[in-house]
Amino acid sequence: MRPEIKEYNYDWMLGSLLKTASGIGNCSEKEIHYLLKEIPYFRGTLSVLLREGEIGFRFIRMLSLYFENLLNARDSGKKVAAITFCLSPALFHAMNIVPVTLEVMTGLAGLLWKRGAYDYLDYGCELGFTETSCSSQRGALGAYMAGLGEEINMFVCDTPGVCDTNANAFAFASAYLDKPFFQLNYPHTIGDDKTKQYHLDDYRDLITFLEEQTGYPLEEGKLRQILMEVDKQDDLLAELEDFHLLKPNPIPVIYNLFIYIGRFLFSGCPEYTALLADMLTAVESNAKTEKSGLYSGKENIRAYMCYIDHYTLDLNFFNWLDQHGIAHIGGILSRNFRDNAGYTANLEKSTYGIDTSNMTTMLSSIAEMNATLPMVRSIRGPLDGPNMWLEESLSLARTYKADCIIYNGTPGCRNTWGMVKPFAREIEAAGFPVHIMYGDAFDDRVETWESTKTRLDEFLSIRGLL
């Protein structure tokens, strides 16, 4: 790793940038104009967030608070756990543990820094990660393994059989840093009684592990409070997601990012509830006047992201969608598969509910909630199994009237690369044009944004979509 990179703490750099940005809400237009001139690399990303007005600031303040919590964790006597976006942070909030969601931490480096997370990604390889390990964990882990972030006290993941590169990243880092490790296990079906019991028992073991690490028991009242907040968030999300049905779609493209980053960091916390409530108000107002959420004004087509988005400086991918009049109707990351969400009507037995009656029902709720998270739910077994990736993608694309489906991942996504061609063939046969992106959502060096954009433009043109 370059010596100059070793001079700075990763969490502090991201946190201080966001803290400064969160103060811009108090600036005059003239001050913002001059400020943007002084921050050439961060200008593009910040401008997209500023365009959202108070909601953009709320999102920035939420991120800033996340780093404040992380940077103050040790002083406030809290433990820090490295977790994954396939694992709900709600339980960690209930146990006063600061969750570090590695994929978000890497994604933020890509969105906020011109150099992205490149040095940290490469450092992971220097230590033994393969170049095809998932970049979404490797970036932030590179910083933590180099001692450039806050101390991670434990590693917790839950991707057995779902993504080997994800699970291996956690196992590797915990061994390298000599920190405790817990991996939730999960069978290849969801929704049946045997499976539910299995996962509930596994969750109890996780709680025992977390109690040992923190020295404090899980409080029933605190868990209930967090789950009731998740319940409120799910209601808001269900209402918000329904607006994707409208043509034009009144939901701004960038809201999809706000939805899932918020959930990966602050599920069960009031900051995320407030963000969702504001977003819903803004979308309702657009819908009343039949206004598209696109800043380019006119909705030309609608795209369903069957996997993840692309996280590069200036929010290039989100801007590309907006500039082409493409409504982003969500993807695998933005959906939570709560039983009250309209789009789950055709996806029987693969949703979760929340029951706060007692400890057992709460643990069952949180375990099932976890089972519906990205990858755990959709990419846990055969491509065409019930409630799996193909069925889910087709159902969502039909529900929201997609004109095309776009796949993007990382070179590490072996579970999807192994089936993406037959997947695309089946989706095409069902009448949806599919584009497979070959870049890396978190590492622009694999395929530059310019090349990615050229291929996306070519797809729209060749398939007669625009």
Work out whether 333 is an interface residue with ligand SF4 (CB under 6 A).
Answer: no
Taking CB under 6 A as the criterion, the residue among 22, 165, 168, 408 binding ligand SF4 is: 165
Given strand 80-83, what is the order of strands in its sheet? 98-101, 80-83, 154-157, 181-183
Considering only the stretches 56-64, 118-126, 390-398, 412-420, report the one whose residues sit in contact with ligand SF4 under the rule CB under 6 A: 412-420
Number of residues that bind ligand SF4 (CB under 6 A): 12
Cα–Cα distance for residue pair 385/152, rounded to 1 Å: 37
Give the x/- contact pattern for ligand SF4 in 373-402, rule: CB under 6 A.
--x---------------------------
Q: Is 152 left (phi over 0), alpha (psi -120 to 50) or beta?
A: beta
Ranges within 85-124 binding ligand SF4 (CB under 6 A): none
Taking CB under 6 A as the criterion, the residue among 98, 141, 146, 163 binding ligand SF4 is: 163
Distance between first and last Cα of the chain: 44
Nearest distance in Å: CB 64, ligand SF4? 26
Work out whether 22 is an interface residue with ligand SF4 (CB under 6 A).
Answer: no
Work out whether 412 is an interface residue with ligand SF4 (CB under 6 A).
Answer: yes
Work out whether 250 is an interface residue with ligand SF4 (CB under 6 A).
Answer: no
Preceding omega of 217 cis (within 30 degrees of 0): no
Ranges within 273-312 binding ligand SF4 (CB under 6 A): 308
Taking CB under 6 A as the criterion, the residue among 251, 294, 306, 413 binding ligand SF4 is: 413
Considering only the stretches 344-352, 385-393, 408-416, 443-451, report the one whose residues sit in contact with ligand SF4 under the rule CB under 6 A: 408-416
Considering only the stretches 220-228, 336-344, 357-365, 405-413, report the one whose residues sit in contact with ligand SF4 under the rule CB under 6 A: 405-413
Work out whether 166 is an interface residue with ligand SF4 (CB under 6 A).
Answer: yes
Residue 71 or 86 having the CB closest to ligand SF4: 86
Taking CB under 6 A as the criterion, the residue among 136, 153, 213, 312 binding ligand SF4 is: 136
Residue 108 or 375 having the CB closest to ligand SF4: 375
Nearest distance in Å: CB 2, ligand SF4? 25
Instruction: Name the residues that contact ligand SF4, by CB under 6 A.
Output: 134, 136, 163, 165-166, 308, 375, 409-410, 412-413, 415
